[in-house]
Chains A and B, each alone.
Chain A
């Protein structure tokens, strides 16, 4: 059995785009050849993973949704694939970034075991060497940086408010020239990307994407900056969605606050 050809053929079959004699022959093999049946089971799971990871072409994606997902069993399998992906994303590549002061360079926590090739000593030492060289170069550049450059860094004028899902704090209209930075607290940091929609008096006024998770002490937050000029007294609500690798939005939390004079 040619594994790659078989895999591709089975993928087409599952998506309903294999026809004629090839389809009949494959179905006969599913019934009579145990290795083809087993391969079908493997490709089914891999197809679900590809869909969840956004790795299917437009046609494949369309076929997946209209043909592959017709049974409750496969829908259940898709749900499992999505959960597993969420788990892997949150455990293998933690996106937690230690809280840093303004103006200081961001530091990412790094663990060699996170590397795909961890366990291969040559690769690990090689990468570690490159990282050390990089750190040394950054230190050297920092040391050489003229004082005038440091003086040019300005502290951004923002009012920071931390929002928990159940709370509805009152926030003063920011002073002129200041923005409002909301830190939206999250219990389960399961996505890398987040999207928000801001409502004023139940009317959508702003949508933001590509929001990244940050850690603030032991708490995870999604920072959302709102231009001060946009804010006037009234009741506001932020709807936060997690964005999966396939681009699908999953509602996470709703946050409320009241802006006062």
Chain B
């Protein structure tokens, strides 16, 4: 029976969806779950019967005849009573009658890809002119589809049409043709359901795993954007470091200064140009001071690069690695990174020869390759001075660390809390904090490495300098790795205070606490694997010589190669050598040795595997990526892909490929095992010679394309791509991204050209992600989509009369939209904010009677209600809902969709923890205010702060709120990146940017208001000019009953605990936008619902007229004006003339020293010049 009419608001229209089993969960779990990331949205079933639904069963009985169904339903209706009827329906139509998905994005007339403009093949590919299914070059999404299509429609794989349609699984690839920045394809305010999550994930994976280190993806062709651009930044900083290392004192002081500046700020083009010119002129001179090698290799690196890449290397710098790691660890790590850290992103390079049955060469040569790499890294590791560390760190021993928790319980706990709360967990995971790990969505790629085993890595028994290195790193990361994205956390010494806020005299070092905690609490039973080579000189000479000779033969005739191997390369040839062969040069002072051969093979090995693509390695400053470029890989002719014998390999009868269960001998780690079988879809793609299949197997078993090929290849000619630890979904995401790299954008009118605002948002997002700002800060609040019956929310209650300017202007048609009812008689709307936080720091969830849940009791979803704190004003139920009033109470049946926050993982994780810690000091502390001790949600930041201030703050952050438990760290970002962030915040909040004229700092405005005020002072007709600001400042701002009760002002610090202390009011004129400041003072909760700041000047309750004569609005304006002019006002209070006159008295005054000097006249307020 097909439904042909549904009475609005009838039971049929309002029927609910059956299905989910009702389970009871404890109150605590329910509350905790609200902070966790939302699960990926499942396809939601629209409740209520819909036109066209086909009733297939009633109460489980199949219905084949319409009449029977009708009779059954009529019977039920006639019986009446309190019964629930279950009706099963079939909904939706088979293709081609079904509609296109996401009409908000595609096809729809209001979508950005209108049918009339974009049509089909621009996104889908295929043969647009075809009129038959089989000729349109559809591509089946699954093997099942392929079978059905072949049988039913005569579909076939048409190799002659080179651009077949993207199958559904790769449909998002097409987005990259026009969306070259990629980040705009993430979920956004306009499109809360991410437009293209899979291709964005692929992009994230390529970025975070550093694929671009070997495979350059150049998004530009002759200056024109042709696709996503993922390329390494120019190596200016490394060139400068190498220059320092090679030439040291040979450099002039000016050259040394420029080089040092470039190490820290390689973006300083003017400095680089000066250095390059200076080096070039030395090179051109008849008697160059600097070496030939320096000029040959390093000097050219300072030249300009046309359209430079922007990405830093994805791995840590190895320039000083000898000062960080011991040989055994390095050997084991290079051999199999997962052996030490199972979750590492570093791919597997060695032991990948499962495809080669009876492999002999790899087991023989690989230990040499690894050991020689270690030897090279250690030998060329450059001098590095650790930061001075406390004795407790430098002298700590492994046995002490084993007992540290027991013997130093207080410091251990302090270290644990500091590690937990000072920001480390925003970017790192640690097994001791599993709930922090859970704050990230499963697809989120954690910025930094897992630190669960770091105590083993730097254990002093194996690595005596380990603790010192860790201390130095934690305290000042850029000292070791100048391009790291790890920020300086300002782990400065802390003068401890007691619960009363009084100094105890104890001074602690958070870096010391964290380092000792990590060393003591992050110990695993890891040991270097058997066979780890600690002394490379113990390796077989014969094998080393074989490898070295193989390489030498690339550079020299065989006879010469053999001679050089045996005797070394004569000194007189040294200047003609640029490559690794320089390692073999012998001279009087440096005879030929096994060590030389090791360094030679080490350098060759690093070059072979392209380690420098991800790591900064001395001697590889000028090295180029080793992989094929990928900018147009999505269009690469499949005939140019070297499938070789891979199909044979994958077929079970040939070599027992991993398509079947298991193949070859188990060896080494990191192989695609039998639990990672190749999906049928990709197997077929390989068999048919398609790109997707090639890429899948390349990611799964990269060297398997050497199957039955190695017999005709030298060892060093074999494939060398490492195996990345990707699962099936990750591989598919990467392939989706790769297939979209077509380097062939359509006509310009189709390419996405963001407007100025979107441009700023896109650029800002790239920087936000680079530095993981969202690790700490909530960048976008939660959004809950609601559906409700009219009047369920009603008008919002108001406590006191608000200032007129507090009301959010919402157009009447916007309000009217929220009153439109759908077929079920329901209204819809969205609210933006955060779950209300209770006093224990966890979200407040109430039961159906609006009583808070008991943590220990169990509840069903249907008996809950969710208080939600608004962070954005909204129209709801025909009314305006302002921020800072009562939470909106949402019942489960009203909640249609829920979108989690963007960012803020650490903040949300820490809410209950810092509340608990604070309650130890003050049992009355409230978790509902804990957000003010944590990184602030950056909602409305653009409207809040002045662009200039934000720019400077990002580059040189300083403490603002004394109440915070962690400081904003300093990232080594460029001024350009800071500008992009400022632009982002301004754009997202539609704030003025880059300049905002401040009327409040205009002299005319101040004079006018001052005159008005003086006119009011009936009892003080002779009041001097400037009295308005003076009254506001002296009677309100520094009145101990008002602002200075909690706030610092200038050098004044109130007697208050850190948690209750407010920011310095002497700085707000630089930081806040003027109107924000006024509105904030008027009603702080309207901006930050969690703030503890009270309303000082209520609209209907002005302050005592003795303090300031005027209405509440006038008082508010005066306080705002004096704060916005604090600098000018303070200048009035001190006269430079008086100081000068005192220092240099005029002769007549000096003579008449006994005559009192006239007080200096206050300086006139001048208009602001900035």
A and B: interacting chains: no
